[in-house]
Amino acid sequence: MFAIVVITLFIAFLAMVYKYILEPAFISPLAKIPSASFWSSISSQWISRKREAKQEIRTIYALHQKHGSVVRLGPNEISVNSPDALRTIYHGGYEKHSWYSGMFVNYGIRNLFTSLDRHSHTAQKRWIANLYSKSYLYNSPDLRKITNDLIQRKFLPIIDLAAHNSHPIDMFDLVQALNMDLTTAYLFGSGNGSTFLQDVSYRRHWFAQYAVFFSQSPQVRADCEIEQWCMRMCEAAELTMGSEKPPTGTQPVVYSKMFRCLQMKGADPRQISRRVASEMLDHTIAGYETSAITLTYLMYHMSQRPSLQKQLREELLTLDPPVRYRPAMSGDDEDALPALRVVDALPLLDALLQETLRLHSAAPAPQPRVTPEAPGGTSIEGYANIPGGVRVSSNAYTMHRIEEIFPRPEVWLPKRWLNADQKSLEQMRKCFFAFSAGPRMCLGSNFAIQGMKLAIAAIYTNYVTSIAEDSNMEQADSFAARPIGNKLVLRFQTV
pLDDT in tens, 135-150: 999 999 999 999 999 9
Assign 447 a pLDDT band (cuts: 50, 70, 90). Answer: very high
pLDDT value at position 291?
98
Angstrom distance (rounded) from CA 159 to CA 419: 33
53 pLDDT more than 70: yes
Assign 445 a pLDDT band (cuts: 50, 70, 90). Answer: very high
437 within 8 A of 326, measured Cβ to Cβ = no
| Mean pLDDT computed over 443-469 | 98
Assign 101 a pLDDT band (cuts: 50, 70, 90). Answer: confident
| Mean pLDDT computed over 447-457 | 98
Give the closest residue to 150 by CA, choosing from 209, 194, 188, 120. Answer: 194
Angstrom distance (rounded) from CA 143 to CA 334: 11
Assign 93 a pLDDT band (cuts: 50, 70, 90). Answer: confident
Give percent of the chain above pLDDT 90: 82
Assign 248 a pLDDT band (cuts: 50, 70, 90). Answer: low
Report angle CA 263, 143, 188 to the nearest 5 degrees. Answer: 40
Assign 332 a pLDDT band (cuts: 50, 70, 90). Answer: low
pLDDT value at position 244?
67
370 within 8 A of 95, measured Cβ to Cβ = yes
336 pLDDT more than 90: no
Encode pLDDT of 267-306 as tens digits.
888 889 999 999 999 999 998 999 999 999 999 999 999 9
Assign 43 a pLDDT band (cuts: 50, 70, 90). Answer: very high
215 pLDDT more than 90: no
| Mean pLDDT computed over 54-80 | 98
pLDDT value at position 266?
85
Give the closest residue to 344 by CA, choosing from 416, 264, 451. Answer: 451
Angstrom distance (rounded) from CA 481 to CA 61: 15
* Average pLDDT of the residues of the chain: 93
Angstrom distance (rounded) from CA 371 to CA 386: 8
b/e map 410-431, b = 16+ CB within 10 Å: eebbbebbeeeeeeeeebbebb
93 within 8 A of 369, measured Cβ to Cβ = no
Expressed in angstroms, the distance from the first to the final Cα of the chain is: 94
Per residue, the 3-state secondary structure of the chain, as one string, reads CHHHHHHHHHHHHHHHHHHHHHHHHHHCHHHHCCECCCHHHCCCHHHHHHHHCCCHHHHHHHHHHHHCCEEEEECCEEEECCHHHHHHHHHCCCEECHHHHHCCCECCECCCCCCCCHHHHHHHHHHHHHHHCHHHHHHCHHHHHHHHHHHHHHHHHHHHHHHHCCCCEEHHHHHHHHHHHHHHHHHHCCCCCCCCCCCHHHHHHHHHHHHHHHHCCCCCCCCCHHHHHHHHHHHHHHHHCCCCCCCCCCCCHHHHHHHHHHHHCCCCHHHHHHHHHHHHHHHHHHHHHHHHHHHHHHHHHHCCCHHHHHHHHHHHCCCCCCCCCCCCCCCCCCCCCCCHHHHHCCHHHHHHHHHHHHHCCCCCCCCCEECCCCCCCEEECCEEEECCCCEEECCHHHHCCCCCCCCCCCCCCCHHHHHCCHHHHHHHHHHCCECECHHHCCCCHHHHHHHHHHHHHHHHHHEEEEEEECCCCCECCCCCCCECCCCCEEEEEEC
pLDDT value at position 333?
60
Angstrom distance (rounded) from CA 188 to CA 249: 10
| Mean pLDDT computed over 20-46 | 90
243 pLDDT more than 80: no
pLDDT value at position 116?
85
Q: Which amino acid is at 391?
A: R
pLDDT value at position 456?
98
102 pLDDT more than 90: no
pLDDT value at position 44?
94
| Mean pLDDT computed over 482-487 | 97
pLDDT value at position 334?
62
| Mean pLDDT computed over 12-21 | 75
142 within 8 A of 246, measured Cβ to Cβ = no
Handedness of CA 409, 415, 416, 417 (dihedral sign): positive
| Mean pLDDT computed over 60-73 | 98
